[in-house]
Structures are given as C-alpha cells and as structure tokens.
A and B are shown apart, each in its own frame.
Chain A
C-alpha cells in the first residue's frame, strides 16, 4: 500500500487548489475520486451515500468503508493599487485538512440501509503574521467544519432501476477572526485597537438527499442525485480584546467605547448540489463516466454576524455568490484485481470578483486525478491523488472591501479508502 501511495505521489505533476469550488469538498471516496468524482451513474459501494444514495442498493451483505483524505492548502497574495499597494505579499499558513468519510451499509433483500458520516464542506484560511497582515481588518482567520451524518435507505425496484434517499443531519461550527481598526484623530491615521474572535457552538442543521440509478441497457448507466441545502444557524460568542496603541488620550477614548465580550448569531449555508451522470462500459473491464453537477452557491449571498446585545456591532459581508456547474469525466480500467483510474474535472468559481478576498479567496480549477485500487476479495483498497491547474485570480479593482491584488491558491490532495465486506 505504502508503495502504491508513493507511486501516486510521483504521478502528480502539478499542485493546485484541490478543493471543489467554494468551500465544498468532493473527497468522499477514493474510488470515485480516482475518476475525478464522476460516479453518480455507477456508485455501487457505501460511498454512494455521498455520490448517489440510489447506488447503495447495489451493496450486498454488509459493507464498511473508511476514506481518510489529506488536503494541503495554501493561498498566496500579491497586492495592487490603490490598497494595499504593489509590492505587498502575503500568504496563509500551510494547512492540512483531514476530511474523513465513514460508511456502513447492510442489505435486506431489495432494501439496503446505511449510515455515513462525511465532511462535504469545510474550509480554513488563516493568514500569516496577523498583527501585520494588510488584510487583517477583513479577516485573519476563517474556519468552518461541518460533519454530515446521513442515514440512508435505497431500494432496487428491479435489476436495472434503483432509488434511494437519506437525511442530512449536520453538526457544524464556525470561527472568524479579524482585527479592529479605528481612526486616531490625534495621529491622523488608522490604528489597530484590538481583535475580535467569533466562535460558535457546535450547532445543528438538517436536510435531505435523494437519487436514482437506471440501467437502460446492461452496459449503460444513468444516474441523478440531489442533496438539499442545509442552513446552520449558529449561536456563539465574540471575544473582543483591546490593545493599546501607545497614544494615551486616544486609548482612553477607545477603552470607553470598546465592546464587551458578548453573544453572537450567524449563519453559513451548505448549498444544494445536484448531479446527473452517464456511464458506459464497453466491456466488463472498462468504464467511462461523465457527470454534470450544479451547486446552488447563490445561497451564499452574505455573511451576517448579529450581536443581539449591541446591534451597532452587527456586521455584514456581502458575498453574492453565483450558482455554478462543474463537469467531471473519469474512467476505470479493471483487468483483474487491480484497477487503474483517471479523471478530469472543471470547477468554476462561484465567487464574484468583488467578493474575492481574505475571508475565502476562490479560483477556477482544472483537476486531474489518478487512482489505483486493489481487490482482495472481502476487502478492497483504493487510493487517489489529485493535481490541479488553478489560474491566479486578480480582484482587478473590484474588491468590495477595497483590498486589491492577485490570489494564487495551491493545494495537493491524497486520499484512500479501505473497504471491508462480510456476509
């Protein structure tokens, strides 16, 4: 296994941003990801609970699948006029996310039930040197990590037609940090008067998903799946920390009006996603699939933070994202116990240029994936690597917060799945 993973590392030519668009994460099964996630029409293992719940009906007996992933992420920034100006460079801390997917399924004749857990959204953007970072009044750190629990049922109507549905029970937490500016009239300039750290509790939201798979012919697969939007309303607290500016009369003034720690309320949507897939198996050892996906990112129109005790502090960041498509194509060659996979996807950024900023700099992505799998009979092991070509993206004078420049995102993703089947 170790050797197989190392081979995959060697195969990856480019490192780019490997997240799916926005803060969506598609890394929910190594077999699917080896084919760039083009799996909606054929999903037939427990990861169907993410890719298409109808596919769960193809699981026989009991099956257990665990899919750990490692996503290495970093964003670089080069400033432009009029602010922060040319010559400024910034970068985020290198982050390693370890999204994990766990699935268990068991059949009972035509009916199959399962429960899954995955992180299908998530992000953490933390800028280096937050005390001097030029975007620190916008965001120094943002983090969202939801856990989706998905009890799922699937039913095979006949040999060729399957349906499935499930609930999405989401537990999520959000953290936001930034610095607070004030204009000091004694100095005639803006000074840093403190920090605001917003942290929510782990809050709950719910949604549903459903899917269908149909084989109009033995070697032809059609599938469609839909996952509803989940809006999590967060309750939490804001921790305000004042810092002295070294200008005593001004500090006294700031101290008199500086906000106290208090409760907050906010909301971050996990938008609806839909997928349609078509797969063809020219012979038993070859499969090709193309998926067309749509994410209703228009749900992320604003990030609002409410301070019920001090409405004057209410904060709103317009996001105004657009719904976007992504296209995924993949193939699998399975001559024997070994499987070889490759895929490509194009993922358009849902983020308008005006919102491209420190909170979450998002870019278009071309993803190339390679995958390898081995079937041991009752067990299977799969691995994938994902390389991305992600063009740099500039705000071109349009940034809503007046923070102009070019972002370059780099990510590298590895993942594997271990599946075990028993009667």
Chain B
C-alpha cells in the first residue's frame, strides 16, 4: 500500500506545474504611442513628499503609462532630479509627536537628464494652473526646470509632433484656493475654466491634429489628507473638544488643513482660535467642491466632443477615499501617513497611488481606443 501511495504522490508531482505567466502582448488599438507627451501638474510630474526626485519621477503616472504602452521607442524622457531632490524631500522623523524634516544634503542645481532638442516627453509642471500650461514659459523652480526657456508647456508639446497626449490639468485651479485657506477670490469660475480648456484643445487640434488625447478630470481636492486628515475634535481630559476658529466651534463638515496639526498641539483651536488660513469653512468648501464639479463637467464635455478618452480620476479618488483598495490582501486607504496611498505631504500620491492613477489612465485609453495596454504593477508584498 505504501508503494501505491508513493506512486500516486509521484504522479501528482509530475502532472501539476504552472509556469510563470507572461504579460499579454501590448496593442495600441487606434491610439498611437510612437510620440507620447504628457502635460500635467505635480501628480504627472512625479512630485512626492514635497519635492522632485528621480525615484518617484520614474513611477509617475506618465512614466508608467509610457512603460506599459512601450511608448516613444521605449525611451520616455523626463527631467530626472538626483538625491535629495528639489527641494530635498520630506522625511518622517517621528510619528509621536509628528515631526517632518527634509532629507539632508544640498539640492542639485537642476535635472541630470538634459532636455532633448524638442523638449522633455514629460512636460508636467508642479503648480501649473490650466492657464499656466497655455501661457507661462518661465518661473522658479519647476517651470524653468522643465521648460528651460523654450516656450510654454503647450508649445513644447506641439513641437514634438505628438501622436498621443495625456492631459492632467485643472487640479491646481482647485487646490490653490484650498491651500490658501479657502480664499474664494482665487477660484477660477467653471465658465472661465471651460473657455481655457477649450482654448488648449483648440490649439492642439490646430497644431497637433494627429494627436489622440486622454483627458483626466479633477479629483475632489477636499478629500485629500491635506484637507481631511485633521479631526475637528481633540481629546482633552474632559472629553472630546470641538476646535474653534474666530467664529466659534467649527461646524461639522469644516476642514482643518494639515499644517494646523502643529498649532493644535500648541493649543490653537482650544485657547486661541485657529487662523482662518488653516480652516476651510462650510461656504469655502462648497465653493471649492462646486468648482471641481464644474471643471469636471467641462472636461467631460470636451472629451466627448473631441473623441478623447476621459480619465475619471474623480471617481477613482472617491472610491479610494470611501473604501480604500485591496492589493494582494492589504487594504490601502486615504489615511494620512499610514494609509499608504499618499506621500508625506498629504497632497501627492505615494508610488502605489501613482500606479493606481496610471492604471485609471490605461483603462480609459484601452476602452476608448480599443487598445490592450496591460495595467501597471502595483507591486507585491515584500
């Protein structure tokens, strides 16, 4: 009988083996990635933890899209910056009390990858408003770092005879008023946004008519950890205490910006009102969220009208903010520091967050253009 069992075990060992699977072949469908150019903001640029550093640029959404699609003959040129980054990246020194400092060392003077004659393939610029992408050709530090005096983001995109362009613009038009404490005077109206967006696409239609487009809409910026992480109530020996600004206890739904966490430890919000610049009131929040909805309506209608892929970053962020995402059984969330989807600045994604954004682009491109570009790896437990 032992012999029989051994024979059966041997049979089993011989019959079953599954080799490693290879990614399915890439096809572009009706899209064409022979000359791919990315226009965008800090997210596309690869900013993380408050700075620009090559290891994060290499996993920026456009870099991942280019890699997965096999774009530009396998060479997607970015203005890569050496350690410790420009400026040196934030670094977590202590969790309790929360202490962030900057990586040691002097920031390099500029990128170590020289600008090709027709410009970098990744033209995204941290801080760029929609209007800046069209009209701004210089400015410290990031406009100069990317554009290097050869014209605007739009102009340099056109100069490359692009066959495919991803456009991730508009987030800064909503974030700028947010980080300034909700100043509604800084908020671009949806009508003005639509006009600028149409102007940008008109220019591309005229000067880069062969380029297919993927247009990303704007995430709900009030859900970023930078705006949503600080709780309205602090635990005091007497129980939970609702923080105050100049007009009294903050009503439910108000937001306290991340930099306030340091002040709250010093007693702000309890004994001294929180400064208005660090509080988003209900009215300010409604204005910002309304603007984002308006921008997204504009982007959706432009995408439809021009046959572009619409990349629904808004839906992605809502889903992640509500439920997080499971990756090989690990749940990642929007929680600041320990959620895993954001970098230390609470605004910019972590490498995992960046890959999820890239995959949202890839899904939209596959669906719109009948392409088969495989999803970027989200990594595996190590």
Partners in one complex: yes
Measured in the bound complex, the distance between the Cα atoms of B109 and A390 in whole Å is: 61
Hey, which chain A residues are within 8 Å of B332, CB to CB?
183
Interchain pairs with CB closer than 8 A, number: 156
Stretch at the interface among A148-156, A194-202, A236-244, A409-417: A409-417
Hey, which chain B residues are within 8 Å of A138, CB to CB?
328-329
For B319-336 the 0/1 string (1 means CB < 8 A from A) is 000000111111010000
Q: Quick check: A83 and B12 within 8 Å, CB to CB?
A: no
User: Min CB distance, B56 to chain A, in Å?
Assistant: 10
User: Min CB distance, B336 to chain A, in Å?
Assistant: 9
User: Min CB distance, A28 to chain B, in Å?
Assistant: 20
User: Min CB distance, B381 to chain A, in Å?
Assistant: 6
Q: Quick check: A406 and B21 within 8 Å, CB to CB?
A: yes
Contacting residue for B17 out of A76, A185, A412, CB 8 A: A76
Hey, which chain A residues are within 8 Å of B246, CB to CB?
none
Q: Quick check: B94 and A83 within 8 Å, CB to CB?
A: no
For B341-363 the 0/1 string (1 means CB < 8 A from A) is 00110000011000100010000
Hey, which chain B residues are within 8 Å of A249, CB to CB?
94-95
For B8-44 the 0/1 string (1 means CB < 8 A from A) is 1101110111111111000000000000000000000
Contacting residue for B377 out of A15, A85, A409, CB 8 A: A85
Measured in the bound complex, the distance between the Cα atoms of B379 and A190 in whole Å is: 10
Most buried by B among A81, A87, A189, A403: A81
Hey, which chain A residues are within 8 Å of B17, CB to CB?
76
Hey, which chain A residues are within 8 Å of B330, CB to CB?
137, 181, 183, 190, 402
Hey, which chain B residues are within 8 Å of A136, CB to CB?
329, 381
Q: Do A135 and B355 contact each other (CB < 8 Å), given the known contacts A14-B15, A79-B380?
A: no
Q: Do A412 and B19 contact each other (CB < 8 Å), given the known contacts A83-B378, A135-B328, A186-B92?
A: no
Q: Quick check: B16 and A78 within 8 Å, CB to CB?
A: no
User: Min CB distance, A34 to chain B, in Å?
Assistant: 17
Measured in the bound complex, the distance between the Cα atoms of B1 and A135 in whole Å is: 36
Q: Quick check: B377 and A2 within 8 Å, CB to CB?
A: no
Hey, which chain B residues are within 8 Å of A96, CB to CB?
5, 9
Contacting residue for A85 out of B95, B96, B329, B380, CB 8 A: B380
Measured in the bound complex, the distance between the Cα atoms of B329 and A37 in whole Å is: 37
A175 within 8 A of B: no
Interface residues on chain A, number (Cβ under 8 Å): 60
Contacting residue for B19 out of A74, A89, A137, A403, CB 8 A: A89
User: Min CB distance, A30 to chain B, in Å?
Assistant: 14
Most buried by B among A358, A408, A412: A412
User: Min CB distance, B65 to chain A, in Å?
Assistant: 14
Interface residues on chain B, number (Cβ under 8 Å): 48
For A69-102 the 0/1 string (1 means CB < 8 A from B) is 0101010111111111111110100101000000
B190 within 8 A of A: no
Q: Do A192 and B381 contact each other (CB < 8 Å), given the known contacts A72-B8, A88-B20?
A: yes
Q: Quick check: B21 and A86 within 8 Å, CB to CB?
A: yes
Q: Quick check: B20 and A78 within 8 Å, CB to CB?
A: yes
Q: Which residue of B lies closest to A411 (CB)?
A: B12
For A386-423 the 0/1 string (1 means CB < 8 A from B) is 00000010000100111101111111101000000000
Measured in the bound complex, the distance between the Cα atoms of B21 and A81 in whole Å is: 10
A287 within 8 A of B: no
B243 within 8 A of A: no
User: Min CB distance, B350 to chain A, in Å?
Assistant: 6
Q: Quick check: B9 and A81 within 8 Å, CB to CB?
A: no
A5 within 8 A of B: yes
Hey, which chain B residues are within 8 Å of A358, CB to CB?
329
Q: Which residue of B lies closest to A414 (CB)?
A: B8
Most buried by B among A182, A402, A411: A402
Hey, which chain B residues are within 8 Å of A135, CB to CB?
328-329
B66 within 8 A of A: no
Measured in the bound complex, the distance between the Cα atoms of B376 and A89 in whole Å is: 18
User: Min CB distance, B159 to chain A, in Å?
Assistant: 34
Measured in the bound complex, the distance between the Cα atoms of B332 and A401 in whole Å is: 11
B240 within 8 A of A: no
Q: Which residue of B lies closest to A392 (CB)?
A: B18
User: Min CB distance, B278 to chain A, in Å?
Assistant: 22
Q: Quick check: B15 and A190 within 8 Å, CB to CB?
A: no
Q: Do A185 and B92 contact each other (CB < 8 Å), given the known contacts A70-B5, A72-B8, A137-B329?
A: yes
Contacting residue for A185 out of B16, B337, B382, CB 8 A: B337
Given contacts A85-B379, A137-B330, A412-B8, 7 further A-B contacts (CB under 8 A): A78-B20, A81-B23, A82-B355, A96-B5, A183-B340, A188-B343, A400-B326
26 contacts between A and B (CB under 8 A): A6-B4, A15-B12, A15-B15, A70-B5, A72-B9, A74-B16, A76-B16, A79-B21, A79-B380, A81-B375, A82-B327, A82-B375, A89-B19, A135-B328, A183-B330, A185-B95, A185-B337, A192-B381, A401-B328, A401-B329, A402-B326, A402-B327, A411-B12, A412-B12, A412-B15, A414-B4
Closest 5 CB pairs of A and B: A410-B16, A84-B380, A137-B329, A138-B329, A76-B18
Binding site for B on A (CB under 8 A): 2, 5-6, 9, 12, 14-15, 70, 72, 74, 76-89, 91, 94, 96, 134-138, 178, 181-183, 185-186, 188-190, 192, 249, 253, 358, 392, 397, 400-403, 405-412, 414
